[in-house]
Structure 1
Amino acid sequence: MPKPNFFIIGEPKCGTTILHNYLSNHKDIFMSKTKEPHYFNTDHHQEAIQLNGEGKTKNSIFRYINKEDYLSLFEQANKEQKIIGESSTNYAYSKLAAKEIYNFNHNPKLLFCIREPLSFLQSWHSQIYKTGSEFIENFEEALISEKDRKKGKKIGKRTKYSSLLYYSEWIKFTEHLQRYLDYFPKEQIKVVIYEEFKKDNQKTIDEITDFLGVDRMKIDYKQANITPKTKLTKFLKSKNIFRRFFGKILPLSFRKKWGIFVDYIDSKIDKKTNTLSLDAKTKLMKQFKPEVEKINDLLHKHNLIDPEIDLVKYWGYDKV
Structure 2
Amino acid sequence: MTGELSAQATPTELSFEGALRPGSLDEFVGQAKVRKQLRLLLDAATIQQRSPDHILLAGPPGLGKTTLSMIVAAELEKPLHQTSGPAIQHAGDLAAVLSALTPGEVLFIDEIHRMARSAEEMLYLAMEDFRIDIMVGKGAGATSIPLELAPFTLVGATTRAGLLPNPLRDRFGFTAHLEFYADDELADVVRRAARLLDFEIAPDGIGEISRRSRGTPRIANRLLRRVRDYCLVHGTPGDTESVHAALHLYDVDEQGLDRLDREVLYAVVERFGGGPVGLSTLAVSVGEEAETIESVVEPFLVRSGLLTRTPRGRMATRRAWEATGIPMPDAL
When normalised by structure 2's length, the TM-score is 0.32
Radius of gyration: which is bigger? 2
Question: Which structure carries more strand by proportion?
Answer: 2
**Higher RCO structure, 1 or 2 (CA under 8 Å, sep 6+):** 1
